[in-house]
Amino acid sequence: MRKLVSWLIGFSLGAAVAAMVVFLFAPFSGDELIARFKRGWQEALAEASKANNERRAELEAELAQMRKTYQLPETTTPPKM
């Protein structure tokens, strides 16, 4: 438990120091830097959502094909043991 707490404290302090260094040496103002981070975060979330939707559509199509091939009903209940 002590190792975990020490690791978390070290990680947190390292992240805080890294953030201060970025803000001090970035070629942009603090507000512009924060806006860029937010924009990048929003773009990453949008891409992840798009990839999720595409993968879901692929899996649903695959499931529909398997149901058609094996003639499974749309909803099935697991067998009782």
| Residue 80 to residue 41: CA distance in whole angstroms | 46
Q: What is the SS3 assignment for 36?
A: helix
Contact by Cβ (8 Å): 67, 74? yes
pLDDT score, position 23: 82
Confidence label for 30 from pLDDT (cuts 50, 70 and 90): confident
Contact by Cβ (8 Å): 33, 26? yes
What does the mean pLDDT of the chain come to? 88
Confidence label for 10 from pLDDT (cuts 50, 70 and 90): very high
pLDDT score, position 40: 95
- Break the chain into its structural domains and give their ranges: 2-70
In one letter, which amino acid is 48? Answer: A
pLDDT in tens, 39-63: 999 999 999 999 999 999 999 999 9
